[in-house]
């Protein structure tokens, strides 16, 4: 096959794969994003665009990111099985009396937990608990669920382990965990405050305490059954392991992040309390499959198409590593989702002048994550909240979500751009 044919075939397969990923399905077929990415990668191999050795090489598949993500999934899965999130819900139920209070606690917990743990899994664990709290307190759950989703995206901006795209950026950029957090964690905290005020304003009528609470007082709830010794040990072990992981993330170089996550996960798997298959069920295997397929598809596209674009001459973008790059990545993140967008921008990051490279990576992390709040389809975390709420009889429509998502995304993106441009490290 001659060079022009390879370019056209690669481009066609790439576009078809990314359209499928953007839609989340293939019309008429029962395929999800993981299946679409896997099929796209397989077609690249069958067409001869990549050899199997090229596809599975470290230059193609970012094994460090996959290991980091797998390790964090096991850590959060053990926290969930230990009842950690359920204990948090009961602690909140004892202290919350108003809808605004529940909104504030939901945003704070979602944001802080998502900053250090993977935001998708945090949403999976917290969505049923927020629904339970809202119903027990007789509050409208809608603003709290939207607050949970948007806060998980905003909070996850703050560290490398907050979301999958940050993990990719952290591994590729070699920015230390501490330095990454020092630059973006303050932006995430300010963004959570903006999130609360935007939702509190838009849903100000829904956040009025129901009169029944004023009449009969706080809603009673069943106390948690006492933890058996074995489950108490699992809880202590999981919390200590997660805390140790966070401390090590801050103290060791970014190259050690996958090994830290894998080591902590291995420690949690050693025990007699929980059957391993229960922990394995907490792992989002489809997300790992999707990432593997995406890495191969993007590698083929970079090799045969992007290499001819002359990115080194894109001075209009390379000389504006914050504002133009943030805008471009925000748009692309809503067209094809944030993880594929970050993978596509990697050649641009490598072509950046050394003096701008770190700021460019941070701007890409900030913008691609904040952009996930624009619509329901902007991030996997949003879809997890919406789908889990739907199963419980609570509908969050596309338009309802956008009432918060659009202004919140514009405000937080502006905040992030101003912060990275004008606040020195």
Q: Give residue limits of the domains in the chain.
A: 1-61+298-307, 62-283+314-422
Predicted confidence at residue 376, as pLDDT, reads 82
Whether this prediction's pTM lies above 0.85 is answered by no
User: Is the Cβ–Cβ distance between 102 and 268 less than 8 Å?
Assistant: no
For residues 198 and 301, give the distance between their C-alpha atoms in angstroms, rounded to a whole number: 40
Q: Per-residue pLDDT for the chain (425 aa), expressed as one digit of tens each?
A: 667 788 889 889 988 888 887 777 788 888 888 889 899 999 999 999 999 999 999 888 889 889 988 998 899 888 888 888 888 777 776 677 788 988 999 999 999 999 998 888 888 888 888 888 888 888 889 999 999 999 999 999 999 999 988 998 998 888 999 999 999 999 999 999 999 999 999 998 888 876 544 433 444 455 555 556 667 888 899 999 999 999 999 998 888 889 999 999 999 998 777 788 888 888 888 888 988 998 899 888 888 887 776 666 666 666 667 877 888 888 888 776 787 788 878 877 877 777 788 888 999 999 999 998 988 877 878 888 888 888 888 888 888 889 999 999 999 999 999 999 888 76
For residues 165 and 184, give the distance between their C-alpha atoms in angstroms, rounded to a whole number: 14
For residues 5 and 223, give the distance between their C-alpha atoms in angstroms, rounded to a whole number: 67
Residue 127 CA: distances (Å) to CA of 21, 37, 389:
24, 27, 7
For residues 260 and 177, give the distance between their C-alpha atoms in angstroms, rounded to a whole number: 12
For residues 234 and 99, give the distance between their C-alpha atoms in angstroms, rounded to a whole number: 33
> Which residues lie below 8 Å from residue 201, measured CB to CB, with a gap of 6+?
none
* Angle at CA of residue 164, ends 256 and 10, nearest 5°: 110
For residues 344 and 166, give the distance between their C-alpha atoms in angstroms, rounded to a whole number: 14
CB atoms within 10 A of CB 201: 11
Residue 45 CA: distances (Å) to CA of 38, 41, 289, 296:
11, 7, 16, 9
User: Is the Cβ–Cβ distance between 237 and 279 less than 8 Å?
Assistant: no
Predicted confidence at residue 210, as pLDDT, reads 67
Predicted confidence at residue 146, as pLDDT, reads 94
> Which residues lie below 8 Å from residue 100, measured CB to CB, with a gap of 6+?
200, 207
Scanning 217-256, the segments in alpha helix (DSSP H) are 229-251
DSSP string, 373-407: GSSGGG-HHHHHHHHHHHHTT----HHHHHHHHHH
Sign for the CA dihedral angle at 357, 297, 71, 116 comes to: positive
Predicted confidence at residue 389, as pLDDT, reads 86
* Secondary structure (3-state) at 234: helix
Name the nearest CA neighbour of 366 among 149, 186, 239: 186
Predicted confidence at residue 214, as pLDDT, reads 43
Beta strand ranges found along 264-307 (DSSP E)? none
For residues 289 and 38, give the distance between their C-alpha atoms in angstroms, rounded to a whole number: 7
């Amino acid at each position: 096959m001659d060079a022009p044919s390879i370019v056209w075939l690669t481009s066609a397969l790439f576009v078809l794969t990314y359209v499928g990923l953007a839609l989340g399905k293939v019309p008429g077929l029962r395929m999800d994003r993981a299946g679409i990415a896997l099929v796209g990668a397989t077609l690249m191999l069958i067409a001869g665009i990549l050899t199997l050795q090229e596809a599975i090489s470290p230059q193609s598949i970012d094994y460090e990111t996959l290991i980091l993500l797998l390790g964090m999934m096991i850590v959060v899965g053990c926290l969930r099985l230990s009842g950690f999130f359920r204990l948090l819900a009961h602690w909140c139920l004892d202290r919350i009396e108003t809808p605004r209070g529940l909104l504030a606690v939901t945003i704070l917990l979602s944001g802080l937990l998502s900053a250090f743990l993977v935001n998708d899994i945090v949403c999976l664990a917290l969505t049923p608990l927020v629904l339970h709290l809202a119903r027990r307190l007789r509050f409208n759950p809608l603003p709290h669920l939207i607050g949970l989703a948007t806060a998980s995206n905003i909070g996850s901006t703050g560290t490398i382990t907050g979301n999958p795209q940050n993990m990719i950026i952290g591994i590729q950029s070699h920015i230390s965990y501490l330095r990454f957090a020092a630059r973006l964690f303050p932006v995430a905290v300010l963004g959570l405050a903006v999130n609360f005020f935007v939702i509190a304003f838009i849903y100000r009528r829904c956040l009025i305490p129901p009169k029944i609470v004023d009449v009969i007082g706080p809603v009673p709830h069943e106390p948690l059954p006492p933890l058996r010794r074995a489950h108490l040990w699992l809880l202590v072990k999981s919390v200590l392991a997660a805390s140790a992981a966070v401390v090590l993330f801050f103290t060791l170089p970014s190259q050690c992040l996958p090994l830290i996550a894998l080591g902590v996960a291995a420690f949690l798997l050693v025990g007699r309390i929980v059957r391993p298959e229960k922990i394995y069920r907490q792992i989002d295997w489809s997300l790992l499959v999707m990432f593997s397929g995406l890495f191969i598809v993007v590698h083929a596209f970079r090799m045969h198409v992007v290499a001819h674009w002359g990115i080194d001459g894109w001075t209009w973008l390379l000389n504006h590593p914050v504002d133009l790059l943030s805008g471009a990545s925000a748009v692309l993140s809503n067209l094809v989702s944030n993880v594929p967008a970050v993978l596509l921008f990697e050649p641009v990051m490598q072509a950046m002048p050394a003096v701008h490279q770190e700021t460019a990576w941070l701007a890409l992390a900030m913008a691609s994550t904040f952009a996930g709040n624009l619509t329901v389809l902007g991030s996997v975390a949003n879809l997890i909240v919406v789908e889990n709420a739907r199963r419980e009889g609570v509908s969050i429509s596309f338009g309802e979500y956008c009432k918060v998502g659009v202004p919140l995304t514009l405000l937080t993106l502006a905040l992030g751009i101003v912060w990275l441009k004008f606040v020195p490290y």
